[in-house]
Structure 1
Amino acid sequence: MNLIGKICLGSALILTSTSMLSAQKAPALDGKIPMDPNVRTGKLANGLTYYVRHNEEPKERASFYIVQNVGAILENDEQNGLAHFLEHMAFNGTKNFPGKGVLNYLEKYGVAFGRNINAYTSTDETVYNLSNVPTTNANLLDSALLVLHDWSNYLSLEGKEINDERGVIHEEWRTRRSGSSRVRLEKNKLIYKGSKYAERDVIGDLEVIDNFDHKVIRDFYHDWYRTDLQAIVVVGDFDATEIEAKIQKMFAHIPAVENPKTRQYFEVPTNKEPIVGIITDPEASSINFDIIYKHAATPFAEKNMSYYRELLISDLHSSILRNRYNELLQKGNAPFINGFAAYYNREIKMNVFHNSVTLKEDNILGGIETMLGETERAKRFGVAASELERAKKAMLSRMEKQYKERNKQNNDRLAREYQRNFLSNEPAPGVEFEFEAMKKLFPGITAEEVNAIAKTWITDENVVITLTAPEKESVKLPTKEDLLAVVAKVKQMKLEPYVDKVITEPLIAEIPKAGKVVEETEMNEYGATKWTLANGIKVIVKTTDFMENQIVFQAFSKGGKSLYNTNELASAELTSGFISNFGLGNFDQTSLKKLLTGKEVRVTSYIGELTEGLSGNSSIQDFETLLKLAHLYFEKPRFDKEAFDALKGRYMAFVANMGTDVNKAFRDSVSMTITDHNPRTILFTTDMIKSLDFETMKRVYNERLVDASDFTFIFVGNIDAAKARPMIETYLGSIKDIDRKESWKDNGVNFPKKDTYNHFTREMETPKTSIRIDLHGDIKYSTDNSIMMDMISKLLSKRYLDVIREEEGGSYGVGVWANVEKLPREEYNISIQFDTDPAKADKLKAIVYDEIQSLFTKGIKEDDLNEVKKNFIKERQENLRKNTYWVNAINAHYIYNKDMLTPEAYDKLINSISKEKLEKFAKKYFAKPTKTEVVMSPKEKEI
C-alpha cells in the first residue's frame, strides 16, 4: 500500500478559505520528500537498513518488525510456494530459540501468537512482526531484537520441522480455497498475462509443498534472506538512542552474502488488444465486472513532490467517481449492487486505473453500461469545481485529524509506513510534513488539471476486461464479444454533464429549546460525571487524554428486537442499515454526505436483540454536529421509499447467489442448530429480503427511538464537560419524552436442551470438513466466572494449536471463543470451530473432546496458565487507554449492573485464579456439558 492508500485512509481539517491557502507558497515539485525527522534510520555495513522511532501510544509498548524484500515472485518452479512455507518455518526453530522457542518465550510475557506475533507473505515481500511488546522489561526488549536477529539469518530449518509443517500448509491451502479465491486467481492470470505474477499465488503448488527436498527451501533461504534485502523497524515507548545502538551492535556481525543474486523487479507486459476473460466457478457468490487499464508505475528514484502531488490528484478524482456511483445506488431500481473506481499502484512496476461493479443477474450488460457511462461522463466532461473542493475538504479534514493525533499514533501504523519506504521508496515524511504540503498544494490543483490527468488513465491499449460469475444454468452470461461491444457503445453514448446538486440549508434550521440538567452526580469508580436532564435522559461524561481529538459515544435503552413478533423480525433486523441510507431531516443520504464533508463525525443507529440506540464518534470541533445528528435521529428521522426500494433491490441481487457459498451453508446450519431451529432465527436469504417491509421498518424505528426518558448517553474522550454541557442540554435535552417504562423480553431462543448433532454433506470443489462444537449450560453470571471461562478458551486454543495444528498438521487453525451471558438468562457457551481434511475429521474431533476433559483429568499446565494470566493483565492495561473500552465498561454497568474493577483489583483477581481453582471450575462445567455439533463434509460427486 502506497501513499494513495494512506491519504485515502488518513486526514482531517476544515478547509480554511482558498485565498488564505493560496497565499502559502507551494513546495518545488522537483524537490525530494524528506524522511520523517522523528525516525532514526541508517544502513549497516552489511547492507541491513533500520528504522527506530520513539512513540508513546500505546504506553509502555513497542512493535518490532523485520521486513524482507523477498516474496513468491523470486521462487523458481521447484520452489513454488516456499517463500510462504519459509515464513511458517520462522516459528519452528532458530539459533537462539529452538523448536517453538520464539512463541514459548514471548508468550510468557503475555505476547500472544496471532494477536501480537504474526507474519505474512505476498508476491514481493515477507514481513514478520511482534506487536504490543511490554517495554518495562529491558531483557524482553533485548529478546525481541534477538528474535528479529535470528529471523534475519539464523533459522534452523530442521528436517523434521519442515516435514511436520507440510500438513499445516496443506490445511491453510484447503481453508483458503473458496469460490472467490479461485476466481481471483484466474482473474490474476489475465491481469498479469505473460508475467511471472501470473504464475505465483503465494501459497504455491501442493506437489511442491508435499515433495520438495529440504535443500530446496534452505537454498531459497540463503539466497534471499540476506541483510541487503532486510529492514529492522522498531517503534515504541522506549529510548530510541539506546535501541538504535543495540540494533547496530546486534546485527552488525551478520555477514553479507557474497555475490548475491539480483533482486529482480518484474514487469507486466503490455497488450495492444484488450485481454478479455469470462471466469465462472460453482461456488462463486456474485457477478462482477472489472476493467483495468495498466500503466507504468513511478520509478523508485522519481518519488518526489511531483509524485506526491499526482497521488493527491488521483485520490481526489477516484473519490469523486466513487461518490457518483453511490448516488446512482440511491435511486429506484439501482442498476448495480455496488461500484468501485480508483487509480492505484497494484504491483511494484504497475499502476492501474480500475473500475469494478457487482451486478444484478437480470441486468448484467445494463449494469456494466451504467457504470462505464458514469466513468465516460467524468472523462468527457470532467469533474465539477464544487465536487473537487468537497473532495479536497474531506481529504484535508482527515489529514488534520491525523495531525492533531500526531502524538497518539499507533506503533504498527508507523511501522508499516517505514516498511513501505524500505520496500518501494514510498515517501514517509511524517504527518506534520504531509499536512503542511497538502495545504500548500491543494489551491493549485484545479478541476481542469484533474480532468486532464484522469483522461490519460483510460487508454485503448493495455486493457484487461473480466467478468466473474457463479456457474448457474438460469443465468445467461454475456460473451466476450458482448463485453467488448458494451465498452465500445459507451464511448459513443450521448451523455450530459454531471449536475452537482447541493442543499445549502443548515442541518437544523431552528435551534431547539434546551432542557436543563436537573441532577448531577459523580461516578468516582469510572472517573465520570452523570447528568440527568429534565426529559429523563441520563448523560455520562468521562474526559480522557488517550486521543487528542476523539470523542466516542453510545446511547442505549432496553427493548430491541425482542419486542417484535417473528413475522416482523427480518424488517427489524435491517431497520438500522436502511435508516442510514435514508438520510436525516431534509437531507437524503447524498445531500447529507455533501453537507457533512470536511467534518469528522459519524452517528449510526442500531437495534440489537435486547437494546437499541445510537453510536459514533467525532473530533472536538465537530462535537456539536454529532449532537445535532443524534437529535435528528430522534426528532426528524427520514423514511425514503425510493431509497428503500433501491437498497432492497440491491440486497435481493446480493443474496441471489449466496447459496453457492459452502461456507455460508455451514454458517447457516450452525445458526439453526445452536438455536434449536427456533423460528426467530433469521438467516440472510432471498426469502428474508423479500419479507422486508417499508412500513414495518418505519414503525419499528419510531417505536425504538422515541422516548428520551429511558435513554442513557455515554461520552468518552477529550471532551470539556463545561463546554459540552450547554450543547448537550440544547440537542439532547430537547428530545421528546413520553415517560415510557419498557424493557426487553425473553423469547426463549436458546441452545438445545439435549445433545444435538447435525452432520450433513455438501458438494464442494475443494473437499474439506468443517466442524463446529458448542458446549453450553447454566452458570451464575459474575466477573470471576466470565474471566475463568475466557481463560479456559485461551488454554484450549493453545492446546489445539500445539496438538491439532503442529503435531497433527490437521488444521490451519482452531478457533475457540467463550461467552458468559447474563441476559436474557444466565448461561455459558464455548465454541470450537475449524476446517480439516475429511480423512482426519473424526480423529481431530476426538482430540477436541479429549483436550477439554484433560483440563480436569490430567490437569492444567502451570506454565500455560501463567502465560494466559500475563496476557489478560497485559491486554487490560492496553484497553484502559482506549475510549471505546470505557464506553463499553460504563454500558455494562447499566445493562448488567457490572461494576468496574480497578487495575489493582483486576490484577489481584487474575493472580488469585490458581491451577486448582480453574481445574475445579473446568470439571464443574465441562464434565457433562450439553453440546451441539455441526459437521459439514464433502459429498462424493456423481460420475
Structure 2
Amino acid sequence: MKLIRRICLGSALMLSSTSMLLAQKAPALDGNVPMDPKVRTGKLANGLSYYVRHNEEPKDRASFYIVQNVGAILENDNQNGLAHFLEHMAFNGTKNFPGKGVLNYLEKYGVAFGRNINAYTSTDETVYNLSDVPTSNENVLDSALLVLHDWSNYLSLDGKEIDNERGVIHEEWRTRRSGNNRVRLEKNKLIYKGSKYAERDVIGDLNVIDNFDHKVIRDFYHDWYRTDLQAIVVVGDFDAEKIEAKIKKMFAHIPAVENPKTRKYFEVPTNKEPIVGIITDPEASRINFDIIYKHQATPLAEKNMAYYRGLLISDLHSSILRNRFNELLQKGNAPFINGFAAYYNREVRMDVYHNSITLKEDNILGGIESMLSETEKANRFGVVATELERAKKAMLSRMEKQYKERNKQNNDRLAGEYQRNFLSNEPAPGIEFEFEAMKKLLPGITAEEVNAIAKTWITDDNVVITLTAPEKEGLKLPSKEELLAVVTKVKQKKLKPYVDEVITEPLIAELPKAGKIVKESNLDVYGAKEWTLSNGAKVIVKTTDFMENQILFQAFSEGGQSLYDIKDLPSAGLTAGFAPSFGIGNFDQTSLKKLLTGKEVRVSPYIGELTEGLSGNSSIQDFETLLQLAHMYFENPRFDEEAFNALKGRYRAFVANMGADVNKVFRDSVSLTSTDHNARTILFDTKMIDQLDFETMKRVYKDRIADASDFTFIFVGNIDAEKAKPMIETYLGSIKDIDRKETWKDTGVNFPKKDTYNHFSREMKTPKTTIHIDFHGDIKYTKENSIMMDMVTKLLSKRYIDVIREKEGGSYGVGVWASVDKFPRQEYKLSIQFDTDPAKADKLKGIVYSEIQDLFTKGVKLDDLNEAKKNFIKERQENLRKNTYWVNAINKHYTYNDLMMKPEVFEKMINSISKEKVEKFAKKYLAKPTKTEVVMSPKNKEI
C-alpha cells in the first residue's frame, strides 16, 4: 500500500532525525572564517600574495596559477578588448621564454597547450594556469615558477607578435558570435544598464583589436599587471616549505609599480522602475525569460561566519525552488522546458536573485505565469519544513562526501578556492572546517528564517526583465507591457501553498531471492576479480584507492539500436533519455528523488548503437542502494505515459528553433554527409520528436535491459570485494536469466565509398566559413594502429596551431580527432574542423591538406614527435590513477578482446615510435584516403 503524507507549511510535523544528530554548538557568527591551515600564505614586500599547499592528487603532479585582480572592466575605451588580448600575448614571448618559449619548453615534458596550459579573462579577473606539471624533476618546477614570474612583469610584447595575434583574436570573436551569445551580450547591457559592465564584453571592439597602437597595450600591462594585484597559487605533490622559499626568492625582486592607479570596483546603478527588454536574433535557438532582482553584495571585508551561514541559507532555498520547478515539469503539458532559480553573487558589488525559464513558443505568457506563480508561492507561503530538512540532508551529504575525499582533492579544485579567496575574500577554510561548521549550523536554520530572508530577495525596485527569442516568421512575442502585466497579475493571484507529497515505503520492500557466485577468477593485468553468477552474469570488481569514497559502475550487453528497424530508431535513440523521467517501481521521478535525498548514488540506463546497459556511481555507504537501483532497472522499470508526454512536449519545444542555429545546421550536414545520407541517420529535430512513441520506448527498453546472462557488470573504486559479495549475489544474482545470446547487427551505415563534397551557403549574421574534413578507410584494429593514429592526430594538431592559428592568424583553433574502430567493421576516421574568415577559407583548407602530405613527404619534425611521445606517457600515467580509465579499460577488454598493456610495455611501445615509423604509417593511410568534405559559407557579404 502506498502511503503519502501531505504536509503544508502550517503543519507541526517536522523531520527531526537529522537535526537531532547535528545538534551541536554553532560557531559565533560575528567571527571570521579561518584560512585553511594546510595552505601556506603570505604577502611579499612588493605586495604580491601567494598560496602554497602540498597535495597528492594527482600523484607526482602540481598546478601553478598566477591570479590577476585585473580584467576588462579596467580598460579605457581605446583599450576595449586588450585585457583579453594581453592574455594571449603571455604565450607569445617573455623575458626568459622568447617567442613560443613557454609552450616549447613545457611541451617537452608532456605539459600540453590547451589541456594543461591555459588562461581566461573576465571583466574583473585574469588567470593563467599550468596544470599537471610533473614534480619529479626540480628543474621543471623551477621553470614553471619562472613562467609565472615572467607573466607577472616580464612579457615581451613584441610588436610583430602583437600584430600576428590580431588575426587570432578576430577569429575567436567570429567563432564565439553565435545567436545565443549575441542575445546574452544584449541581455547583459540591460542587467548592467548605466554601468561600465554594460560596455565591456571581454573580447572587445574589433576596431580596437585590429588597429590599436602597440603602446596602448603596453600601457595597460604596465598599469595593471603589478604585484599588489597578483597572487601566485601553487598546489601539488611537493615540499610546500621549499616551494614557498622559492617563491619568496624568485618574486621578491619584482618592483612594485610606483604611484599605482586605483583598482576601482564598479557599481551597477539602481533602478526604480523595472528595466524591460525583448531581444531577438535570427540565429537564437531558444525562448528565454529572466527576471533578476539586483542587490548590494556583501562587502569583501564582511565575509565572516554570518556571511558563510547566509550562503547556506540561499543555497537551501534555491535548491528547494528548483526542485519545485522540476516537479511541475513531470506532469501533463509541462508549462515550460526548464527552470532555474538562485540567489548568487554576479559581480564584485552585485548579488542577484535570478529566476529563469526556457519557454514553449505556443504558450509564452502562460509559461512565464507558471514559473512566477511557483516563485510567488514560495515567497508568500514559504518553504515547507519537510522539504527544508531534505535540502539540509542533501547538502550535508554532499559535504560529507567531499570530507571523506579530503585527501584526494584535485590540485586545480583547491587552487580555485585560493583564487576566489584572493580575488573576493571568499572563505577558504578547508573541507575539515566546512564539514564541522555545516554540522553545527544547519540545525539552527529554520523554515521561518529561510522564508524571512527569501522575502527580502523579491523587491519592487532594481528589477530587470528580459525575454530573448529567435526572429521567426509567425512567432508572436508578448510586448513589454504584457510582460509587466503578467508579473503584476501573479503578485495579486490567489495561490495555494505547496504540498509536499512523500512516499514512505522502501525502494525494495522485500529482498529478492539471491543467486550465487559459481565461478571466480583473477584478471591479473587489471588487478581485478571476475565472478560468474548463477544467472550467467559476469561481475568484475577492481578495488582502488584513487578516491576515498567513490565506486563507479557500468553494465553492458551487445545489441543496442542496431537491432531495430528505421521506424523504431527515434524512440530507441531516446529511450534511455526518457527512462529516468519515468521513475522506478512505485516511485515516479519526484518521489524517487525525495527517497534518495542524502544518498550519493546515481544509476542511469543507456542504449547505444551497438550496446546497451547501465552506468552510475555511489559512495561506499550507498553501494547497496546502487545495487538496488540496478536491480530495479532490470526487474521493475516504470513506464509513465504522463511523464512521457510531458517530456516529449518539452523536447518538441526545445528543438523547435534549433534550425536557426547555424552551428546545428552544420553538424547535421556533417552527420548526413559522413553516413552517405543513410536512412538510419536520425537528426535531432522536430521530425524525430514527432515520431517518438511511448509503446515503442517501452518495448525497446524491456527488450534491451533484460537477461542477466547477457550482461557484464563492472565495479571500480574503494570497494571491499568480500563485503560486496553477498549484496551482489542478492541484487544482481536475482535478475532474471533467459539465456539469450545475441550480438549487434551491422546495419550498413558507412562512410561514402568515394570522395564526397558538400559545400553550401547560409544566411549568417556574423559571416564565417566552417570546414569539416574526414579521412577514412580500412585498417586492422590493433593497439599499435590505434596509438599510431592518435600520434598522427597530436602531430597534426601541433602543426595546425603553429601554421593556421599562429602564422596565418586564420582560426581560433583547429580541432583534430581520430578513431580506429573494430566494430561494426575495422576502419579509421581522421577528422579536422575549424571556423575561419570566408576570405581565407580556401587557403587554409589547402594548408590542412598540405600538412597531411608533409607528414610523409617532408617528414615529421623530431621535436614535435618527442613532445607527443612525452605527452602520451604523461597522460597515461595520470589516467592510471583514475577510476574512469579502469572502467573503460575493462569494458574494452570484454567488448574488443583488447588486453590492456602494462605501464612498462606501453612506455616501451611509445618510446619505440620513430620518425620513420610515423611517416610510413601516415603514407599508408593518408596518402590516398577516401575523404568527405563539408564546407558551410555565408550567403551575405563578409564584414
Residue identity matched to 2:221: Y
Residue aligning to 2:22: 21
Looking at structure 2, the residues matched to 533 and 660 of structure 1 have their Cα atoms a distance apart, in angstroms, of 52
Letter in 1 for 2:76: N
Partner residue in 2 for 1:93: 93
Q: Kindly indicate whether the alpha-carbon contact (under 8 Å) linking 1:15 and 1:393 is maintained by their aligned counterparts in 2.
A: no
Amino acid at match of 1:372: L
The unaligned stretches of length 5 or more in structure 1 are 1-13
Distance 2:733 2:21 in 1: 39
Number of the residue aligned with 2:769: 769
Distance 2:576 2:16 in 1: 32
Secondary structure class of the residue paired with 2:426 = coil
Checking the alignment, whether the CA contact within 8 Å between 1:537 and 1:710 is kept in structure 2 is yes
Note the C-alpha offset of 1:706. 1.1
Contact 2:297 2:349 in 1 (8 A): yes
Letter in 1 for 2:681: T
Question: Is 2:18–2:393's contact at 8 Å kept on the other side of the alignment?
Answer: no
Asked if 2 retains the 8 angstrom alpha-carbon contact of 1:572 and 1:607, the reply is yes
1:817 maps to amino acid: W
CA displacement 1:599-642 (0-9 Å, x = unmatched): 00000000011000000000000000000000000000000000
Alignment of 1:404-415 (within 5 A): 404-415=404-415
1:234 aligns with 2:225: no
Q: Tell me the CA shift for residue 591 of structure 1.
A: 0.1
Deviation, 1:20, is 3.2
User: Are the counterparts in 2 of residues 119 and 126 from structure 1 also a CA contact under 8 Å?
Assistant: yes
State the alpha-carbon separation in 2 of the partners of residues 341 and 640 from structure 1. 27
* Matched residue, 1:397: 397
Equivalences for residues 699-848 of structure 1 within 5 A: 699-848=699-848
Q: C-alpha offsets along residues 231-284 of structure 1, whole Å, 9 cap, x if unaligned? A: 000000000000000000000000000000000000000000000000000000
CA gap of 1:726–1:675, structure 2 versus 1, over 3 A, is same
Structure 1 position 912, deviation (Å) = 0.8
1:79 aligns with 2:79: yes
Task: Confirm or deny: 8 A CA contact 1:67 1:230 kept in the other structure.
Answer: yes
> Structure 1 length normalisation: TM-score?
0.98
8 Å contact from structure 2 (residues 767, 942) kept in 1: no
Paired residue for 2:10?
Answer: none
Residue in structure 2 matched with residue 583 of structure 1 by the alignment:
583
Distance 1:451 1:911 in 2: 63
Alignment partner, residue 419 of structure 2: 419
Q: CA deviation at 1:519?
A: 0.4
Asked whether the 8 Å contact 1:773–1:833 carries over to 2, the reply is yes
Note if 1:693 corresponds to 2:693.
yes
Residue in structure 2 matched with residue 538 of structure 1 by the alignment: 538
Task: Map Cα deviations across residues 188-229 of structure 1 (whole Å, 9 max, x no partner).
Answer: 000000000000000000000011000000000000000000
Instruction: Please state whether the residue corresponding to 2:713 is helix, strand or coil.
Output: strand
Question: Separation in 2 of the partners of 1:522 and 1:323?
Answer: 45
Structure 2 CA distance for aligned equivalents of residues 733 and 511 of structure 1: 12
**Pair 1:362–1:941, CA change in 2 (3 A):** farther
Could you say what secondary structure the match of 2:761 adopts? strand
Query: How far does residue 942 in structure 1 lie from its aligned partner after superposition?
Result: 13
Residues of 2 paired with 1:883 and 1:16: CA distance? 34
CA distance in 2, matches of 1:869, 1:473: 54
Q: Residues of 2 paired with 1:211 and 1:863: CA distance?
A: 35
**What is the rounded CA distance, in whole Å, between the counterparts of 1:36 and 1:942 in structure 2?**
54
Could you say which residue in structure 1 is the equivalent of 2:667?
A: 667
Q: Following superposition of structure 1 onto structure 2, how do residues 62-141 of structure 1 map, counting pairs within 5 Å?
A: 62-141=62-141
- Amino acid aligned to 2:55: N
CA RMSD between the two structures: 1.0
Does the aligned pair in 2 maintain the 1:515–1:733 contact within 8 Å? yes
State the distance in 2 between where 1:326 and 1:210 align: 47
The alpha carbon displacement at 1:71 in A equals 0.1
Q: Contact 1:15–1:396 at 8 Å: present in 2 too?
A: no
| SS state at 2:501 partner | coil
Structure 2 residue 43 is matched with structure 1 residue 43: yes
Aligned match of 1:5: none
Question: Is 1:529 equivalent to 2:529 in the alignment?
Answer: yes
> Equivalent residue for 1:917?
917
- Provide the C-alpha distance between the structure 2 equivalents of 1:867 and 1:740, rounded to a whole number of angstroms: 49
Deviation by residue 1:387-433 (Cα, 9 ceiling, x = unmatched): 00000000000000000000000000000100000000000000000
Q: CA shift at 1:473, angstroms?
A: 2.0
Letter paired with 1:896: Y
Distance 1:692 1:645 in 2: 10
Match of 1:501, SS state, is strand
The answer for the alignment partner of 1:6 in structure 2 is: none
Counterpart in the other structure of 1:245:
245
Q: Matched residues in 1 for 2:110 and 2:383: separation? A: 52
Q: Distance in 1 between matches of 2:565 and 2:843?
A: 43
Q: Is the 8 A contact 2:777 2:929 kept in 1?
A: yes
Amino acid of the structure 2 residue aligned with 1:687: K
Instruction: Deviation per CA, 1:765-808: give whole Å up to 9, x if none.
Output: 00000000000000000000000000000100000000000000
Paired residue for 1:474? 474
Find out whether 1:377 has 2:377 as its counterpart.
yes
Residue 889 (structure 1) aligned with residue 880 (structure 2): no
Runs of 4+ in 1 over 4 A off after TM superposition: none
C-alpha distance in 1 between matches for 2:845 and 2:523: 48
Specify the SS of the correspondent of 1:402: helix
* Structure 2 residue 444 is matched with structure 1 residue 456: no
1:186 corresponding residue in structure 2: 186
Distance 1:470 1:63 in 2: 42
Alpha carbons 2:553, 2:616 under 8 Å: kept? yes
| Cα distance in 1 between the residues matched to 2:345 and 2:129 | 24
1-structure distance, mates of 2:401, 2:934: 47
Is the partner of 1:585 in helix, strand or coil? coil
Pair 1:920–1:443, CA change in 2 (3 A) = same
Can you give the 5+ residue segments of structure 2 that lack an aligned partner in the other structure?
Answer: 1-14
What is the identity, as a one-letter code, of the residue corresponding to 1:506?
A: P
SS of residue in 1 equivalent to 2:503: coil
Judge conservation of contact 2:767–2:941 (CA < 8 Å) in 1. Answer: no
- 1:635 and 2:635 aligned: yes
For 2:493, the equivalent position in structure 1 comes to 493
The whole-number CA distance in structure 2 between the counterparts of 1:481 and 1:96 is 61
Measured at CA, do residues 569 and 750 of structure 1 come closer, stay the same or move farther in structure 2, by a change above 3 Å?
Answer: same
Q: CA deviation at 1:18?
A: 1.7
Equivalent-residue separation in structure 2 for 1:472 and 1:853 (angstroms)? 45
Give the whole-Å Cα distance in 1 for the aligned partners of 2:212 and 2:888.
51
Tell me, what secondary structure is at the counterpart of 2:290? strand
Q: Alpha-carbon deviation of 1:19?
A: 2.0
Contact kept? 1:15, 1:397, Cα under 8 Å = no
Please name the residue that 1:650 is paired with.
650
How many percent identity over aligned positions? 84
Please report how far the alpha carbon of residue 941 of structure 1 lies from its aligned counterpart in structure 2 after TM superposition. Answer: 6.7
The residue aligned with 1:3 is none
1:273 to 2:277 alignment = no
Number of equivalenced pairs: 929
Alignment of 1:208-607 (within 5 A): 208-607=208-607
In the alignment, the residues of structure 2 paired with residue 540 and residue 289 of structure 1 have an alpha-carbon distance, to the nearest angstrom, of: 48
TM-superposed deviation, 1:17: 3.7
- Once the two structures are superposed, the pairs formed by residues 852-863 of structure 1 within 5 Å of their partners are 852-863=852-863
Instruction: Tell me the amino acid that sits aligned with residue 471 of structure 1.
Output: E
Q: 2:287·2:359 contact (CA, 8 Å) conserved in 1? A: yes
- Distance in 1, matches of 2:182 and 2:526, equals 50
CA distance in 2, matches of 1:606, 1:224: 51
Q: Check whether the contact 1:15–1:598 (CA below 8 A) recurs between aligned residues.
A: no
Indicate the SS of the match to 2:715: strand
Distance 1:147 1:359 in 2: 48
The answer as to 2:874 corresponding to 1:874 is yes
Q: Distance in 2 between matches of 1:18 and 1:129?
A: 42
- Structure 1: distance between partners of 2:774 and 2:706: 38
CA positional deviation for 1:16: 6.3
* AA of the residue aligned to 1:806: E
CA contact (8 A) 1:551 1:620 kept: yes
Secondary structure at the aligned position of 1:688 is classed as helix
**Amino acid of the structure 1 residue aligned with 2:861:** K
Kindly indicate whether the alpha-carbon contact (under 8 Å) linking 2:767 and 2:940 is maintained by their aligned counterparts in 1: no
In 1, Cα distance between the equivalents of 2:57 and 2:104?
26
The TM-score with structure 2 as length reference comes to: 0.98
